[in-house]
Amino acid sequence: MSTLPITFEDVAAAHERLRGVAHHTPVLTSRTANERTGAQLFFKCENLQRMGAFKFRGAYNAIAQFTPEQKGGGVITFSSGNHAQAIALSARLLGVKAVIVMPHDAPSVKVEATRGYGGEIVFYDRYTEDREALGQRLAAERGLTLIPPYDHPHVMAGQGTAAKELFEETGELDLLLTPLGGGGLLSGCATAAHALAPACTVIGVEPEAGNDGQRSLQSGEIVHIDTPKTLADGAQTQHLGNYTFAVIRERVSEIVTVSDAELVETMKFFASRMKLVVEPTGCLAAAAVLHGKVDVRGKRVGVLISGGNVDLLRFAELVQAAG
């Protein structure tokens, strides 16, 4: 038996740490979606999680396990998306200083949200500076602990608690689909599925423009690509992580892709039919189900909605353009 970077015990321990801190998000159903697909769909709504995405789970689980020395030093990350806000909020709740490295042309809503949670922002030039190198230099100079957005066992275990909650509510499922970027969410959820619903098939969904995960699973090696052009900004990763891929290759059956147009149609579906605001990346798994990328007919299917952080004006524009 191979040893994987995380076990179900790690997910269960993360769930204990998050008790009373993370929201136990609702699982919603839709008669319309069930009729459209011929399946019984269970939507796990992490768009309603604290700070608007599942990323709070992993970030909090990682910082909560800092040694007293690490807590005194502070945390740093170089992601500008939902992970930045998750780190800033988790750090504040745990009384730890947070430094976030962001490109100086990052959307102002993200900068403000991160600042609002008390994070110190260090700007860099995305065309001339390497954010990873800068993050590592700052970490060393200022005694900060670096928590990356996905390739870290504590982050992965935290993300898996979303699926643990889902299975505890629905019981056995035939299929579970989650969005896929760097694989923190998918690897954590697949670990929970393996323990709680061993017969459940786990599928990752990534943007068509960046199918590195699909190619990695097929070839057995991590495939690197250029930053893909897609509306799914939370899944614009260039490659899976070493830890996440080790779990994905063992526990995930298939990776499918969806187009940006399918993501927008799904955003519109959620808004009009289920009264949910879901960001493009958050729609990946649902788009695969609603657009027939996976055979779901007659099955009980878990669908992870990963986040809802989208500028409202942008949301309106996208939905309107979809007609």
* Residues designated as active site: 55, 80
| For ligand PLP, the closer CB: 71 or 155 | 155
Q: How far is the CB of 31 from ligand PLP (least distance, A)?
A: 26
| For ligand PLP, the closer CB: 5 or 179 | 179
Whether residue 222 contacts residue 242, with contact meaning beta carbons closer than 8 Å, is answered with yes
Can you tell me whether residue 75 is helix, strand or coil?
strand
What's the CA gap between 9 and 30, in Å, rounded?
32
Q: Are strands 75-77 and 98-103 parallel, antiparallel or unpaired?
A: parallel
Residue nearest to ligand PLP (CB): 307
Rg (CA), the chain: 18
Site residues (vs ligand PLP, CB under 6 A)? 53, 55, 81-82, 149-150, 159, 179-186, 234-235, 279, 281-282, 306-307
Whether residue 166 contacts residue 25, with contact meaning beta carbons closer than 8 Å, is answered with no
What's the CA gap between 215 and 234, in Å, rounded?
19
Nearest alpha carbon to residue 159 among 21, 61, 26, 280: 61
What lies within 8 Å, CB to CB, of 310 at 6+ separation is 277, 278, 279, 280
What's the CA gap between 121 and 158, in Å, rounded?
24
How big is the CA angle at 318 (ends 295 and 228), to the nearest 5 degrees? 65
